[in-house]
Structure 1
Amino acid sequence: MTATITPDASAPAAGAPGAPSRRRKRAFGRYRMAPFLFTIVTAALFALFFLWPGVLGLSYSLTDFRGWGDANFVGLDNYTKLFGDPSFYGALARTFVFALFSVPLSYALSLGMAVAINATHAKGKTAARIIFFLPWLVSPIVTGVIWRWMFGESFGFVNFVIGMLGGERLPWSSNADLSLFVVIVASSWGGAAFNMLLFVAALNNVPQSYYEAAELDGANGWQRFRSITLPSIAPTSVLVILLSTLGHMKEFALIQSLNGGGPGTQNRLVVQYIYETGFKQSEIGYASAASMVLLVILMIIAIIQLRISRRSNNSW
């Protein structure tokens, strides 16, 4: 006698919605929940550490708040006073001069180190990467102290070497231009390591077949670098220039520990101006107005560089 097996009506048929489908939906729900949670956390941190301080600074810039007491609304009086303050224009102009020389020097140093490390026949790449990256591990305050010791007028190592060679000691601290030169070199030296890593990653993505074809055509090293390397790393170059510009425009710790904006206030940058106005003179509202102006300037610089990058990418 043959047994007849009848399908269980309660069991889900193949392709019909059932337990496996529900498990897939639950798994899909988990995959959708994780990005949502990460986004919420990121948005909360951004609002707490960036958006809220920005709103607070904007609100303070419209008041006469001095760090204590009531904050009386004064409208645009702080901005009117700021735009008529020659000290603010002097600090802002010195900041632009500082960035104008620091950014190209930092770019050249970081790109040169990256090319040297990425060279095919270079030896000691691991040791070179460690040595080149050491300045990035040093605090800007420590960097300023080191360079202050090196370029001290009466006790500096550089003047000691110059004197040993029979030269005349240079006024690194009392001369405004020489003091700014030391800050430019120290800042470029300290920030070149991070940019070097960006360039190393970009250089590794350039196809070697381009260099081989150019070498077969008789192109020398400089021609290959100019015609292949620079165009290939152009997006990274724009990023490095943008980050370097924003970083140097906000420089504070290094110059504060190196020369304090001296001699006098001749090398006082705009962030130092904001710090001294807000914390030393207790004019929080006025310093907040200067911060808002600096924020607008940095946003304009970033937008201009991003538009230039977009046009360059479209042309290539």
Structure 2
Amino acid sequence: MKDTNKKWAFIFVAANLVLFLLFFAWPALLGVYYSLTEYNGNVATFIGLENYINLFQDPSFYKAMSRTFLYTLIGVPLVYITSLFVSVMLTSNHTKGKNIAKIIFFFPWLVSPIVVGVLWRWMFGESFGFVNFVIQAIGGNPIPWSSNGDFAFIVVLFATAWAGTAFNMLIFIGAIISIPRSLYEAADVDGGSGWQKFWHVTLPSIRSTSFLVILLAVFNLMKEFPMVQSLTNGGPGTDTTFIVQYIYETGFDQMRVGYASAASMVLFVILLVFSLLQFRFAKGGKANE
């Protein structure tokens, strides 16, 4: 019996190892190799670090990277606050219309990011969008949502907050309902208000969950592609072209696969450094507790 269990355990581990090597390790190694070559999809010519040197001298790369950092810096708190607020409302006994709210906020999880982007493009279209239709119906002037870079960026942020709420909402709801009711009862005895209970009971109790949500949000926003591509296509101009759009356009539109691979490796290192800093910060916070 034990030999049979060991056999099946070995099979499952081996299968996972093969999948890891096939779909993660091998593509990653290819990416490193291609980043050191001049490769257009046909012949790869080794050029050493030339792609990296050119990349760090490319203003377009820095522009896309700075937009990505700004998008992440604003988007992560927006996604976190929206997800937490919706979760608290849905777990409250005083909230009405929970079923409708769940459908609205969980819908993005049921469809692809491309569909989410198309839906928001329809809502905020300049000549056919629902939002501008309402604005004009009440006597206002249509807003250039897609031709003005600042407005387009705002629409992307709103779409990101809505799309990111679905999954994070499930994580937060699971964490909130697992908080012992005795903590809230003790706060009631002490005369704590709703805000005080949230600040002193709910938030400290879901600290590890908050760390997970923030970490996932950073990763998702730093490598966001399909939703933004279908919503703005990186426009107007390059005002909503983030780093993954830059990599896509360089690698597929311009067929500079080696150069795009170098940009991908830089993005990978940035995400790796950030994750290590996040874990170090979280570990330090637990030690201080």
| TM-score under structure 2 length normalisation | 0.96
Give me the identity figure in percent.
54
Please say if 1:32 is aligned against 2:32.
no
2:66 paired residue number: 93
2:40 paired residue number: 66
Aligned-pair Cα RMSD in Å: 1.3
CA–CA distance in structure 2, aligned partners of residues 125 and 39 of structure 1: 42
Of 169, 182, 202, which aligns to 1:209? 182
Kindly report structure 1 stretches of 4+ aligned residues shifted beyond 6 Å. none
- In structure 2, stretches of 5+ residues that fail to align are none
Please say if 1:108 is aligned against 2:73.
no
Please say if 1:46 is aligned against 2:20.
yes
- In structure 1, stretches of 5+ residues that fail to align are 1-26
Gap change, CA 1:168 and 1:131, over 3 Å in 2: closer
Please say if 1:270 is aligned against 2:239.
no
2:144 paired residue number: 171
1:6 paired residue number: none
CA–CA distance in structure 1, aligned partners of residues 37 and 81 of structure 2: 44
1:21 paired residue number: none
Give the superposition deviation at 1:100: 1.2
Please say if 1:185 is aligned against 2:183.
no
- Give per-residue Cα distances to partners, 1:165-199, cap 9 Å, x unaligned: 12221111111111011011101111210000100
SS of corresponding position for 1:188? helix
Letter in 1 for 2:132: N
2:263 paired residue number: 290
Please say if 1:304 is aligned against 2:277.
yes
Q: Is the 8 A contact 2:105 2:162 kept in 1?
A: no
Q: Is the 8 A contact 2:38 2:259 kept in 1?
A: yes
Please say if 1:152 is aligned against 2:125.
yes
Residues 294-303 or 159-168, more deviating:
159-168
Give the superposition deviation at 1:315: 2.2
Give the superposition deviation at 1:128: 3.9
Give the superposition deviation at 1:42: 1.3
CA–CA distance in structure 1, aligned partners of residues 31 and 184 of structure 2: 52
Q: Is the 8 A contact 2:108 2:166 kept in 1?
A: yes
Give the superposition deviation at 1:216: 0.4
Letter in 1 for 2:66: A
Q: Is the 8 A contact 2:176 2:206 kept in 1?
A: yes
| TM-score under structure 1 length normalisation | 0.88
Q: Is the 8 A contact 2:67 2:240 kept in 1?
A: yes
